[in-house]
Amino acid sequence: MAVTQIDSRLPGFRDLAPDARRGALGETVGLTAAQADQLAGDALPLATADGMIENVVGRFELPLGVATNFQVNGRDVLVPMAVEEPSVVAAASFMAKIARANGGFTAESTAPVMRGQIQLLGVTDLDVAEAALHAATDEIVSLANTTDQALLALGGGCIGIDVQRFADTAVGPMLVLHLLVDVRDAMGANTVNTKAELVAPLAERLTGCEARLRILSNLADKRLVTARVALDLDTLTTADLAGRAVAQGIVEACAFAEVDLYRAATHNKGIMNGIDPVVLATGNDWRAIEAGAHAWAACSGRYTALTRWRIESDDRLHGEITLPMAIGLVGGATRTHPAAQAALAVLKPATANELAEVIASVGLAQNMAALRALATEGIQRGHMALHARNIAIAAGATGEAVSTVAAALVAGGDISVDAARRLIDAG
């Protein structure tokens, strides 16, 4: 299905009131009135929420913003982000503006293949048991594909197996059969788990072992997405620093995260500041994405940065991120939560892979923003300027007074609730 090209820059968008922003967004991406209303909040009926999880007592809302300026693989895209932390949406939008002046982000992704694991215990001979599984690959795949005929019709299904062996564990030798399942536009947990349950008795018969856990892995290392950006150095110039100095600072900050565990944790948290809000807004499983990302960061045996930034021989700053992205367009909350469906209507991804490519690009943009801030003015200046609005609200400011008090807090250099209350009392 062809997607109408839009302009993701939305000039003057930030200066509008929320209702006007929503109207402008709906007009730009072609939302129906109902979809626009679903983005306003209170979109999830309590009865629906009660069916989604247990012991429901209500609903919890986060601010839903839209990151502008994004261009991924030549397509302009507006990105819904559900997040409470100040500066995230603004930072992503500003970095996307710099990126689009350099051709935007490029991204690519592998086939949406997930792993289902079947743990086999009581192994007497690892070699013999492993050989038996490999010899029966066709039988295992055929059995796995007797479930979910709809997935097969879409070109997905179990495509093969992998076997991992552990000679020495706390419970003795262990063999693990992996089912490799192409889940198409689903996240895939339900179908992978179902196939693992179905195949487990066959794995027992083939190996003479006992099957224990039958569960998907959230380390989706065969379902990877990579996003890249290349920037002319002069586009990074600030009022105080030349672009080359800013680029060098970004490279040096990244190098720190590549070698230091403590810095890598914060570096990658900043990346997830961009990724998680999009995953959440689209009704996907952000915990699965977090788990996969951090496991991938440690795949070498040492936890390290998810991104790489280098000034290459073309004298441009190149940034790249690769991580697992088990994201879906069908199933789960993507189909039951009205606001998630409205967010997808804004993004308009043709496939789950395309959504993954946008999400990875947002993560790279967020990382670029954090490293640029650290390399120039420091992370707190911009962050606290936006945080001042939260402080003003906490102190009791309402309406137009929020912006007035926030501006005064920033100007005075004391961004605290006490200072905000003094300003409010002074009128």
> Looking at the annotation, which residues are catalytic?
85, 269, 285, 383
Which of 356, 347, 384, 416 has the alpha carbon at shortest distance from 85? 384
Structure token digits, residue 83 = 């997040």
Nearest to 253 by CA among 310, 323, 300, 298: 310
User: What residues have CB less than 8 Å from 170, skipping those under 6 apart?
Assistant: none
Return the SS3 of 105. strand
Task: Determine the straight-line distance between the first and last CA of the chain, rounded to whole angstroms.
Answer: 56
The Cα 152–Cα 167 span in angstroms is: 36
| Nearest Cα residue to 38 out of 347, 345, 338 | 338
- C-alpha distances out from residue 302 to 23, 254, 306, 307, 321, Å: 47, 16, 12, 15, 17
Measured CA to CA, the distance from residue 206 to residue 174 in angstroms comes to 15
> Where do the H-state alpha helices sit in 208-332?
243-259, 261-281, 286-297
> Residues near 418 by Cβ (< 8 Å), separated by ≥ 6?
none
DSSP 3-state percent helix, strand, coil across the chain (nearest 5): 50, 20, 30
Q: How far is CA 266 from CA 85, 219, 349, 367, 370, in A?
A: 15, 20, 30, 10, 10
Rounded Cα gap, residues 355 and 332, in angstroms: 16
